[in-house]
Every structure is written in structure tokens, then in C-alpha cells.
Amino acid sequence: MSDAEIEALGRKILAAQPYSQSLGTKIVSMGMGRAELCIPIHDGLTQHLHMVHGGVIATLADMALAFAGGPIMGEGAVTQEFKINFLRPGKGDRLIARGMVVASGRTQAVVRADVFVVVAGEERLCATAQGTIAAVKTS
Amino acid sequence: MSDAEIEALGRKILAAQPYSQSLGTKIVSMGMGRAELCIPIHDGLTQHLHMVHGGVIATLADMALAFAGGPIMGEGAVTQEFKINFLRPGKGDRLIARGMVVASGRTQAVVRADVFVVVAGEERLCATAQGTIAAVKTS
Amino acid sequence: MSDAEIEALGRKILAAQPYSQSLGTKIVSMGMGRAELCIPIHDGLTQHLHMVHGGVIATLADMALAFAGGPIMGEGAVTQEFKINFLRPGKGDRLIARGMVVASGRTQAVVRADVFVVVAGEERLCATAQGTIAAVKTS
Amino acid sequence: MSDAEIEALGRKILAAQPYSQSLGTKIVSMGMGRAELCIPIHDGLTQHLHMVHGGVIATLADMALAFAGGPIMGEGAVTQEFKINFLRPGKGDRLIARGMVVASGRTQAVVRADVFVVVAGEERLCATAQGTIAAVKTS
């Protein structure tokens, strides 16, 4: 697949995910082994200290891992496991996550993703994740 | 704090989290070093394969970790890091997560959480997580 | 396989691992989905603060994961990934690790392992790990 | 501290770690927020399939994390937790690990480390790790 085909497939999958839609998730850019996604921050995504809920950050990291690693193995890929370290409170205008495949085989890809919070146009690293994306047979 | 005071504090914090509210998160039970939370499953929480989005499962796991580990260190606790393995597709009536502190010190607690999907009244293990909850000074 | 056959296979594999032998690793007990291993502590296993080196603790955790999860999938199993939290300095007479399978499929098992340090006959939780053991075709 | 002072401190600490010495661990290079270490591969470090034992790879990753993240917080730093994905069998002449700090605060650093196996002079990514290094008071 070309990068354009990968991004088109990614947009089709994202549009078919009700939960990702409700978060306002958008694909910024995708290509073989990489994905950049973003979520605009609003009060509905916060916790009791008025910061973005860690679950939103983890969800965006998970999606960046899966959208970076999935196309290498075909449409039916799922996150098998991941680990995330939270580095900074999620306060700002939007979240951006960039996933990048570290290594991949026939049935699995190991992927990293960094999540940034954008404050007044400046990106600040907010969380970093590492995980495994596994192919699933959907036929 | 007594278990009743811990649960009351947990309910107060949860009620003040707009994002947790939008997911329909409820506290089933809390006590010192343990928390059980649930989220009813509906179409709005799914991904493109009609299963609960992994981000919802990760978010509930994160909350079970934080609500189990937080009260040991006071109100201002946050998830510092966690790792989650997905074990089974999230298809069913609701998600239940149970967090339990494994070890704790003055500034941190290491916690485990299991997430179950409830299908026709039967719990099936859906994901398992392990992470660190850290005290934060809110004053 | 019976528990006795599993333990016999485990002892055969352990005996064929030069590195595990050099650490003094011993199998205490094995069965389907569980393994208990130990390593006697001596000065050669320490770091500069005279505690057991974290690498030894991680190695024993890794082995407990693999020996608990491996027999479910046949002889050729390897650790695909794991996460470990260190909870207490490794000071004492010996390390004991207990691995237990949380969930398993045809090609993978998700496993937890606790590592204890034994001090004057008393076990103290020293580290806790969670990981994935994957089947490999050795033929 | 200058990079030269950091490397000198690292060599002093490594020389005082009996276990790291028994593995043949050497510091290739260190600086603020980064460390490169290596271990020559020999039969004594293998498991039953004649590959480097995963515990050795995990130990070298752990050391690269700690030696990269430790100097930022002073001499008394320990690995609090880490996660590792194994990507390729450890077969070759030596292991090289490179740790790099991703983010750091007053009491903690989040660090990544890649472990390579060197085969006929060529580096191949063998494992990748992410973890937290915490300051400890040694006085």
C-alpha cells in the first residue's frame, strides 16, 4: 500500500469507530509504520483537577500505536498490550500522538508512541508509550 | 480513613470528573487499597469491529488502579505509569474493573487491576493491568 | 502433561541453560500454568549498594513467567515482553519467584510473577511482573 | 557534571557492581541523559536454545536505563520499573544497549533503551525498553 492508501484506510476505520468519533479524534497523517493523530481538548475530557483525563491520553496513545502498526499487517489489527508513562499534566489546546513502528514481523509489530500537549502552538511531551500490535483474522 | 469514608471520597472525586461521567463510570465498592468500578457497554463505546474500544478498557483499568492506590496517599494521587495486556474482546453488557494495591510507600503505590466483561451475568477476564500511583501535592 | 511431567521438562530445560545455572537457579515446584523458582543470594549477585542487582531480580521474574506459561504451549516458548515493578531492595538469603498464568490461548499466555526476598525465613515481596509468553516453533 | 565526569562516575559505579562485572559489562560512552553499554556474548550467557538468555538482555537494558537516567538525579538512583519487548533472538558477538532520557524531574527520569545484537559488525535491534529511574537518598 502507498502512504495515501494507508491514510485512506485509516480514515475509513476511524470513521467507523463510534468511541474515537466521540472523542473528536482526527488523523493528521499516516504512512507505512507511522501515524499522527490528534484530539482537541475541551472540558468534557477532563478529570477533577481540570486536566485531561489520563484515560484520554492512554486512548490516544493506544490509537497511535494501532494506526502505526496495523497497516503493516492488514486491516484486522488490534493492540495486544502496551505500557505508558505519564510525564506532564494534560493542559492545553489539543493532544497530538505520533506512533512509529520499531520492529515488525508477519503477525506482530512493536510500536512506540509519544503524546504531546499543544500549548499556545508549542508541543510539550505529555506521555510516552510502547506496545505490541497483533494481526487478527477478520475473514 | 474508614472504608466508608474512602468510598465517599471516591464518589466525590468521580462525580467531579467530566470524562469519567461521560463514560458512565460507577463505583461499585471501595476500601483501603481496593476499588471496583464499572461501565455499562453501549454502541457509543465501540470501535469498528463492534467491540468495546481498547481505550475504554484501558481507561477503566487506569481508574481502578488510581482509585485503589490513591486513598493510601491522600486525595491528590495520579497514575504515573501502567501496563495493560488485552486478553479477550470487549463484548457484553458491562465492564467491571477491580484494582488492588500490591505494595505501597509514602509517595507511591504499585497496583494491579483486572478488567472483566460481563456476558449474561458471567464475568470473563478481558484485560489485566499493573501500574504505579503517585502522590501529588495539591496544596 | 501431568504436573510431574511438566516439572521434569522444566528441570531438563533449566539444566540446559548455562546462564540460569551460573545464577544458581533452582526449580522449587512446577505445574500446569505455574512455576516457583529460587536463587540463593551471594555477593556475586549484588550491585554497588550491596543489594541484589535488579537484573538478577528481573531475570528470575522472566524465568518464572516463562516456566509458568511455557508448558501450556509446548517446549519452544519464549518471553515476548514483560514489565516489572521493583518494590523493595533485594537483601536477604534467597530470592523466590512464583509465576502464574492469567490467561492463555493457542499461541500466547499472559502471566504474572511475584518475586520475594527471604529474610530470616520470612518472605517479603520484592518485585512484581506481568508479561507475555509466546510459542515458538522449534522444529 | 560534564560528560567526562558523568562517565567517570559511571565507571566507578560499574566497577563496584560484582554482578555487572561477572557479566563482562563495559561502558562504551556516557553523558548527561545518555549511556551506551556492552556485553560480549559467550556460551555462559545462553539458554537452552543457544541464544543469549533474555535475562541478560533485560539486565543490560535495565543498566542502560539506570546509567542514562541516574546521573541527572545524583549517585543514588535505582530502577523503579521498566518494560521490555524482545524483538529478535540474541545471537551474535556482543550486545550493545543505548539508553536515553525522555523526560526528567527532580526525583524521577523516564528513559528508553534499545538493545542491539552485533553480528559480523552489523547492529540489529534485539529488544527495546522503557522505564522509570528514581532518586534514592544514600546519605
pLDDT tens-digit map of D65-113: 999 999 988 767 999 999 999 999 999 999 999 999 999 988 999 999 9
**8 Å CB contact between D96 and D36:** yes
Pairwise CB contact (< 8 Å): B83 & C110 = no
Residue B103 near chain C (CB below 8 Å): yes
In the predicted model, what is the mean pLDDT of chain C?
A: 95
Q: What pLDDT is stored for residue B138 in this prediction?
A: 53
Pairwise CB contact (< 8 Å): A22 & B16 = no
Written as nine digits, the cell of B124 is 470473563
Pairwise CB contact (< 8 Å): D84 & C86 = no
Residue C108 near chain B (CB below 8 Å): no
pTM of the model: 0.97
Pairwise CB contact (< 8 Å): D132 & B83 = no
Averaged pLDDT for residues C38-47: 97
**8 Å CB contact between A130 and A111:** yes
Pairwise CB contact (< 8 Å): A110 & D130 = no
Q: What pLDDT is stored for residue A94 in this prediction?
A: 98
**8 Å CB contact between B102 and B34:** no
pLDDT band at C75 (very low <50, low <70, confident <90, very high): low
Between these two residues, C138 and B71, which has the higher pLDDT value? B71
CATH code of B3-135, in short, is 3.10.129.10
CA D88/CA B89 separation, integer angstroms: 28
Length of chain B: 139
Residue range C50-67, pLDDT digits in tens:
999 999 999 999 999 999
CA A31/CA B73 separation, integer angstroms: 44
Residue A132 near chain C (CB below 8 Å): yes
Residue B8 has φ and ψ, to the nearest 5°, of -65, -40
Which of these, D53, D58, D49, lies nearest to D115 by C-alpha position?
Answer: D58
Q: Chain C contacts of B125, Cβ < 8 Å?
A: 102-103
DSSP for B53-116, written as a single string: -HHHHHHHHHHHHHHHHHHHH-S-EEEEEEEEEE-S---SSEEEEEEEEEEE-SSEEEEEEEEE
Q: What pLDDT is stored for residue D19 in this prediction?
A: 98
Q: Is the ipTM of this complex over 0.85?
A: yes
D48, D82, D138 member nearest C13 (Cβ) = D48
D22, D58, D86 member nearest C58 (Cβ) = D58
Closest-CA residue of C relative to D80 is C86
Question: Which of B:111-130 have CB within 8 Å of C?
Answer: 112, 125, 128, 130
Whole-angstrom Cα Rg for chain B? 14
Give the sign of the dihedral formed by CA D96, CA A116, CA C132, CA A70: negative
Q: What pLDDT is stored for residue C102 in this prediction?
A: 98
Residue A121 φ/ψ region, left for φ over 0, alpha for ψ in the -120 to 50 degree band, beta for the rest: left
CA C134/CA C137 separation, integer angstroms: 10
